[in-house]
Amino acid sequence: MGASVRKSMLADDHNLEIFSLVWLDASVNTGQENINVQQQLRTLIHQLKTFDNTRDCLEYIRHISKNDRIILIVSGRLGQEIVPRIHRLRQVSVIYVYCMDKEKNSKWARKYSKIKNVIVNLDELVVQIRSDRAKRNYETYEPLPFNIYKKSVNDEKVANDSNNQFIYSGSLIDCLLHMPSYTTDQNQLISLCRDIYKGDANELLILNEFEQTYTSNTALWWYTRDSFVMRLLNKAFQEQTIDLLYLFRFFLHDMQDQLKRNRCVSPIRVYRGQFLSNDELQTLNNSIGGLISISSFLSAHSNRQKALKHLTESDELRGTLFEIDADPRLDEIKPFGYTGQDDEILFMVGSIFRINDIHRQHDGLSIIRITLCSDNDPQLKLIFKDLKFDTNDNKRKLLSFGDILWRMGKLTEAEKYYQRLLTNLSGDDYYNISECYYALGNIAMEKDNCNLSSEWHEKSLEIKKEILEEFDPSIADSYSSIADIERKKGNSSQAFESYNKALDIWIKAYDGDHPKIAMCLNNIGCIYGEEKNYIKTLECHEKSLKILKKHFPADHLCLGQAYNNIGSVYRYLGNYELALENYQLSLKIKTKTFSSKHPSIASTFSNIACVYEEMNEFQQALAYYEKAASIYRHNFPPTYPDNVRIIDDIKRISSKLK
């Protein structure tokens, strides 16, 4: 793990667990008794923040992630100031009032449902929090990380974002579960945890026990134990903390194997109580008949009343009960089994369910009926057909994780993964080394670092020439990527030469009819376009599109790029109507393929803006430039060339609107 990643994880305000304690009291940091209690509390919940004034405490609470959960301790006086202002925030789960006058403070505390107790003794406070944690009373407050795949919706944009997140999250988990792990992963995880829990004697003792006694047969026991394992994993899944999830691969493999061994043998109906926001509940209501994937382990009870135990109603949260049906007899079902704790059943991370029905009872409780799906479900097979990989293909196992990160727009995480993979590969694993170089070259290209991209691709090509046949298509891949770089650097003649080398190999390898030939024709057409030979450009692009349509469905990304290029040709020819038509076709495909924040979508927004600008429709142009700018800001620093350019575009258009 890189030093910068480690530093980021260990930052003071970066809580790697979901729950934290916040203690607000004017004298919280004075007096030995308070200091001693702070130490005791840290053995229960590692992250403890103390504040002696309402302003700073309020600022902190309002700026933490909405996925974090706070257990708040307040004095009577300051509690009356802050509780009315933060009670509706979802981040605040439970409140304890510690004061000297229980009767007086109980009067105002009754108005707030999140106030668990009014306590006058510090030892009693510690006992109460310890008891609530041991009974897992806070569990229903934890956010439930889920993604929805909608069967049909009115808002296509929202559906695309939701469906893409469903696909990428599921594919990411699939990769984690099939990738090999290394002995160094466990050592790195333990080393990181020692830094995370530095000064926490209790957690360090548990960590030492884990290091000395953990075996693959004890994974389930460790996950259900109140320890760093469950807390770090749950937060990592919630936040998609890639570096931490990567180190936990060995544990996820062991959990999957153990759940298979402990699996239920007959169909079950189990229950899970959960607090959901009004928005989350509405999303589920709008998705009946669709699919829900749970991006973490999911615990449930066979006892309905136990699942209902801690559910209450509040203005901002709804008590909901998931009624879950699962049949272990189905083929290719995600494992689920007994944890050994009472009547608890645990479903494997990445389990996908169909939402059958949602209804609200007269007491306000929402019942959500879901059924566990098999991976052989026809809809699921169709959804993941382009992203599922052969679990017996060890070469692709290693590379797929980085590819999924790239598709998600997580360029930095993808780059770090390939760099890490290079350090783990054996020196004679030439194929995977060359593919890592190739992927790093593509990432550097997306980050607009042409020189670095060129270095990676040249290194990849050098290895490929040594280990592959002369006309192997992979060599053409490298020539094509090198041509992309030369073209971006403005070296059209070198780009043209490399594209034609790639084209010659692909024509020989694929008998003249293959999508890669189409893509190469597209790129050669772009060079003709740069030379303002638009007739030749259009000819190349139309040949390309004709080939692509033979091989891909109408919404495939390759067609999206072809439409984008044809749109550009028509723009240069002054045929703005056909330009917009093709750009919109391109955009429609990209939004189905990429996340809404992917740089490629920004590029098409920018192209559409250019057309409107040339048509003197400046308001429309500004709207699309601003959409592009939002995505570039999300992905890149302010000095990144596309960020600089788009700001200039917006300034130029804004001045024309004055």
**pLDDT of 154:** 45
pLDDT at 658: 75
Does 220 share its domain with 237?
A: yes
Shortest CA distance to 73 belongs to which of 30, 110, 27? 27
Indicate whether 151 and 132 sit together in one domain.
no
Q: What is the DSSP letter of 470?
A: T
- Angle at Cα 133 formed by Cα 129 and Cα 135, nearest 5°? 120
Beta-carbon-side half-sphere exposure of residue 495 (alpha carbons within 13 Å)? 22
Tokens representing residue 423 in the block:
């350090």
The verdict on residue 52 lying in a domain is: yes
Tokens 């693959």 found at: 216
SS3 label, residue 334 = coil
The count of structural domains within the chain is: 2
Structure tokens of 438? Answer: 């190739």
Please check whether residues 89 and 169 belong to one and the same domain: no
If asked whether residues 169 and 31 sit together in one domain, one would say no
In a domain, 110, yes or no: yes
Q: How far apart are CA 567 and CA 607, in angstroms?
A: 9
For residue 183, the domain's CATH number is 3.90.176.10
- Of all helices (H) and strands (E), which one includes residue 325? strand 317-326
Q: Under a CB-based contact definition with an 8 Å cutoff, are residues 541 and 569 in contact?
A: yes
Which residue, 105, 124, 141, sits at the end of a domain?
A: 141
In a domain, 512, yes or no: no
**Do 300 and 245 sit in the same domain of this protein?**
yes
pLDDT computed for residue 156 by the predictor: 45
- Would you say 498 and 482 are in contact if contact means Cβ atoms under 8 Å apart? yes
Beta bridge partners of 148: 292
Dist. CA 97–CA 528, nearest whole Å: 73
Other residues' Cβ atoms within 10 Å of the Cβ of residue 349: 23
Residue position matching structure tokens 């196992």 = 397
Provide the sign of the torsion angle of the four alpha carbons 169, 172, 177, 183, taken in this order: negative
Q: Which residues is 325 bridged to in the sheet?
A: 269, 371
Write down which residue in 388, 409, 433 finishes a domain: 388
Domain end among 141, 158, 187: 141
288 and 348 in one domain?
A: yes
pLDDT attached to residue 364: 82
Question: Is 631 part of a structural domain of the chain?
Answer: no
Per-residue model confidence (pLDDT) at position 585: 96
How far is 161 from 230, CA to CA, in rounded Å? Answer: 29
Q: Note if the pTM is more than 0.85.
A: no
Q: Give the structural domain span for 128.
A: 19-141
Strands 344-347 vs 336-338: parallel, antiparallel or unpaired: antiparallel
- 100/79 same-domain check: yes
Angle at 53 between CA 50 and CA 56, to 5 degrees: 75
Q: Which residues of the chain have pLDDT under 70?
A: 1-13, 135-137, 151-160, 310, 312-315, 386-397
